[in-house]
Homo-oligomer: A and B are copies of this chain.
């Protein structure tokens, strides 16, 4: 089996992808699907509102890190943790839908974070036939430190479980970076996204997103809906 790490989303994904957006979308997705049956992710605020309104769904999400007006919830893992949702949830964030779009051609798309690390790696190993691609979402086209450290965490675990697999330099880099961050929270705190959350008074989100293997919930892309010509990605727990 092949294993690769992409420091930013590329294209040509065929088999199994673990998409990583630690701060905060993929952490939050696991947490929401612990308490809801289905999670719909979209990049459009208008689509999120219209779709939630039509199907009587709950609205969660952020613009510039904070919940848009009229939303039930923000995108904060610390706030959403432990909630039981009576209805399905629509989540809209600025960055992650583009990354989901980029990997959506793959046979299996899983959302991974430190929070569901063990479970998402186990599920990827179960589903993959030829290749696991660990894909870092990045932020507005730039690489993000916390996603690459998390990718290294997954890659190291896959290596341990599957023995030696041949790795390109991006995967080696991600694994090596773990040596520089024995405490992964330091990477999250030192990242651009971590700094932005700190400024917004959301340090608790950084702390929750640094917790390792707290959840066995693995969000998996089920299908893509179209709404006003835009994509809504439907996730369930794998």
Contact = CB atoms under 8 A, between A and B. Distances in A.
Interface of A: 7, 139, 142-145, 148, 168-170, 172-173, 176-181, 187, 190-192
Nearest to A145: B169
Count copies of this chain in the complex: 2
Secondary structure of the A contact surface, majority rule? helix
B180 A143 contact: no
B143 A7 contact: yes
A142 B170 CA distance: 8
A71 to B, nearest CB: 28
Contacts of A169: 139, 142-145, 148, 191-192
7 contacts: A139-B169, A142-B169, A143-B170, A168-B192, A169-B192, A173-B173, A179-B180
Contacts of A187: 176
A217 B145 CA distance: 33
A92 B126 CA distance: 46
The 7 closest A-B pairs by CB, nearest first: A179-B180, A145-B169, A176-B180, A180-B180, A143-B170, A144-B169, A169-B192
